[in-house]
Chains A and B, each alone.
Chain A
Amino acid sequence: MTPSSTRRKPAARRRSARPDRKAWTFLGPFLAVYLFAMILPICYAIYQSLLKVERSGPLGLGEPKVTFAGLENYTLALEQTAFLEGFGRVLLFGAVQVPVMLLLALVLALLLDQVKDRWAGLLRATYFLPYGIPGVIATLLWGFLYVPGISPINDLLAELGFQPDFLGYDSVLWSIANIVVWEFTGYNMLIIVAQLKSIPQELYEAARIDGAGPWQVALRIKLPLVRPALILTCVFSIIGTMQLFAEPLVLKKLAPAVTNDYTPNLSAYFDAFANANVYLAAAKSVLLAVAAMVLSFGFLSLVGRSRKEDR
């Protein structure tokens, strides 16, 4: 395997000492699973999205036959008002929930920087805690906190004369937004904190000597420096929002407003499992993945452009 004859020449040995071909031995296992469990399913879903079931004979009662459908499933999906409304809903959801969550994460990260280390560590852990709780369990918990009869929040607000309806037609979307904020603020905060810790302390010292107060340091120095972290968290949040699934599915039982087409992902799921139309479901999955990609790349290029203009 290792060419021992080249050992005599130092120059040649230097090149052959690193058997670069071995790289594939190390990459092999990962690539095999990656191809099998990521690339192949995507290709198969795209292929499935181009098929349909055709029934022949009188009244369509004949033998069902799978045939090539072209882009029929895509046009069918895009003609479904409910599916498109689901898209609109997650976009509206994201436009409100992502900024609120990231602002909260940013504020918490900046404020924690002002607190003594011991307390900061404890608070950071507290804020990060919900990330370890599965989304469905978080939704079950908040579900109990939304349902009249069990919810202490409803009880307390009733004492004050309010009759909140967290699961109503107009409010349930924002009740879901609250669950997502609760789950992921701490995670995003930690990414920002990590970036803050990588800023050299001398920078703060210099600013303080120049007479900058804590607020000025936060706004003028820290904020621009955590920009990469904010961009990253924003991209991941946009992708996550488009995929909204578990939270509305679990709340469905409590809130009649959550229909089968409430989000695009729910719609695809119910097409595959309740309506037994896997081909349409595949088309919707592909549309959803493409939309998420377009949005996140669009956002990245937007950020890239504004950065260039800054310079």
Chain B
Amino acid sequence: MTAARMRTGLRPGRILLVAFLALAAGYFLLPVYWLAVAATKSNESLYGSFGLWFDNPRLWHNLSQVFTYNDHIYPRWALNSLLYAGAGAVLATLLSAAAGFALAKYRFRGREAVFKCVLAGVLLPSTALALPLYLMFNKIGLTNTYWGVLIPSMVSPFGVYLCRIYAEAAVPDNLLEAARVDGASEERIFGTVVLRLMTPALVTVFLFQFVHIWNNYFLPLVMLSDDRKYPITLGLVTWERAADRTAELTQYTVGGAFVSVIPLAVAMLVLQRYWRTGLTEGSVKE
């Protein structure tokens, strides 16, 4: 074993492999590392010092300014982002679970038609939908409201697709039949038994939808005009735009980006397992 490892360890192919993987890691980490360093700098040393090393670090000072600037608007943006992504993803997950369960476990006319319709929705990108949504929501007065962003966020065709596949495999028919014989209503069976059996798929749908809403820019951009309803993404771009007139906003943009990246980065690392489950179950199976 050790002999084999030593032999493989010395092979030039092995060295090349490790070097390439390390190089790739460097590429993907570089902007994040730069951000972590830059968040500790003053606006002057952001321009005046070498970007990849520290210069008079003062992270807390910077962050407190980010949080308090313009009447604490940054924490508000953060809460908005959490509301849009959190509430949107929870609702999308529940709607997908119910729809996926129905498509998997009942036989009814129009089932395949509904499913095809859902699949078409998977292929339709959200950016293509943002302008049409704006045009319609503008007509009925839903623009510049929380609902304008939340309602479209509740739809996840991919989630329905994933839940259908998962429910087919994970919810046994005889269990449902037994519950029916015991006199449980369909709603009750769904609420108690089915949701529990589908939990792994639900976590995955929630995660994907959360990141999808969190990352979405076009939809809130067209929907919202009041900056107190903005999510972080929209707010930070506003700051960056205004940095021409107010120089310290460059540093606030950097600090704000740093704060917003940390929780997502941690979530990516900790919840890796669920991402992969989702991709195995959902995308690759035919």
Contacts and interface: CB of A to CB of B under 8 A. Distances in A.
B157 A34 contact: yes
Contacts of A268: 131
Interface residue SS majority, chain B: helix
Interface stretch (A66-74, A79-87, A201-209, A240-248): A240-248
B154 A37 contact: yes
Contacts of A22: 102, 106, 186
A130 B269 CA distance: 11
Contact of A194 (B30, B51, B284): B284
Given A26-B102, A239-B123, A272-B134, A285 B128 contact: yes
Contacts, number: 267
B284 A144 contact: no
B135 A282 contact: yes
A243 B28 contact: no
A262 B198 CA distance: 44
Contacts of B236: 136-137, 140
Nearest to A226: B284
A288 B128 contact: yes
B233 interface: yes
Contact of A243 (B29, B121, B127, B276): B127
A289 B120 CA distance: 12
B211 A132 contact: yes
A24 B254 contact: no
A150 interface: yes
B254 A144 contact: yes
B95 interface: yes
Interface stretch (A57-65, A93-101, A120-128, A167-175): A120-128
Interface size class of A (residues with CB under 8 A): 35 or more
Contacts of A36: 151
Interface string A276-291: 0010011001001100
A194 to B, nearest CB: 4
Interface residues of B, number: 94
Nearest to B260: A137
Interface of A: 1-2, 17-27, 29-31, 33-34, 36-38, 40-42, 44-45, 48, 104, 107-108, 111-112, 114-115, 121, 123-138, 140-145, 149-153, 155, 182, 185-186, 190-191, 193-195, 197-198, 228-229, 232, 235, 239-240, 242-243, 245-246, 250, 253, 265, 268-269, 272-273, 278, 281-282, 285, 288-289, 292-293, 296
Interface of B: 17, 20-21, 24-25, 27-32, 34-35, 38, 46-47, 50-52, 95-96, 98-99, 101-103, 105-108, 111, 114, 117-118, 121, 123-125, 127-129, 131-137, 139, 151-152, 154-155, 157, 160, 176-177, 180-181, 185-187, 190, 211, 214-218, 222, 232-233, 236-237, 240-241, 253-254, 257, 260-261, 264-265, 267-269, 272, 275-276, 279-280, 283-284, 286
